[in-house]
Amino acid sequence: MAGKVAQRRAALREDLINIAQRRIAEDGLQALRARDLATEAGCALGAIYNVFGDLNDLVLAVNARTFHALGADVAAALAEAPQDPVDHLVVMAQAYHHFAAAHLHSWRALFDVERAPDTAAPDWYLHEMGQLFTYISDPLAVIFPARDPQDLALLTRALFSSVHGIVLLGLDGASAGVPSDDIDRMIALVLRQFAGRE
């Protein structure tokens, strides 16, 4: 009997992640409601909280999938890129842009998930961020062999944040939106100038 209960629980967990993933992708994190999820999953509202501590835990599970899909896209773009560290930075940053544009709501949810003030992100989240940072720090270490590790770590984070800012404001069509080709061009201009290659 216990096995069946655990099985049903695991199946409901999977269902809820699938449903939340699709709803976030379609309508954005802001529109996600526990009541709607329960209705679509055919379970009681309380059953959600038997599986996830709260709605944010469920969102984090969706974000884990988004992080993995993003990492796969970046890896695929890298596989076809020339073997030059500056090209690698540009190709990865443009892959980041294209992923964000193609999965706007899911990508926004990575950054918009709410946490209590001064609560650190969960370890797996920081680990996923760290994985993405490795993609950046490896070519940076080749481009700047004389930089000390602390500077390289700051530069890595700063470059990720820079590209994130260019993509975020560029995709915000309502304020200062930028055509997609111009976003790619901005990324290439900044990164090549930064690396002393233009």
- Per CB under 8 A, the list member of 65, 120, 123, 138 interacting with its own copies is 120
- Per CB under 8 A, the list member of 46, 79, 83, 118 interacting with its own copies is 118
Residues 175-194 that bind its own copies (CB under 8 A): 175-176, 178, 182, 185-187, 189-190, 193-194
- Counting contacts by CB under 8 A, is residue 65 touching its own copies? no
185 backbone φψ class: left, alpha, beta (φ>0; ψ -120 to 50): alpha
Per this entry, what is the length of the chain? 198
Report in angstroms the alpha-carbon separations of 54 from 46, 60, 104, 110.
Answer: 10, 10, 24, 17
- Counting contacts by CB under 8 A, is residue 196 touching its own copies? yes
CA distance 187 to 126: 25
- Per CB under 8 A, the list member of 121, 127, 138, 180 interacting with its own copies is 121
CA distance 59 to 57: 5
153-188 per-residue burial string, b: 16 or more CB within 10 A, e: under 16: eebbeebbebbbebbeebbeeeeeebeeeebbebbb
- Counting contacts by CB under 8 A, is residue 123 touching its own copies? no
- Counting contacts by CB under 8 A, is residue 158 touching its own copies? yes
CA distance 162 to 160: 5
- Which stretch in 13-21, 40-48, 87-95, 125-133 sits in contact with its own copies by CB under 8 A? 125-133
- Counting contacts by CB under 8 A, is residue 154 touching its own copies? yes
Q: Which residues bind its own copies (CB under 8 A)?
A: 111, 115-121, 125-126, 129, 151, 154-155, 157-166, 168-170, 172-176, 178, 182, 185-187, 189-190, 193-194, 196
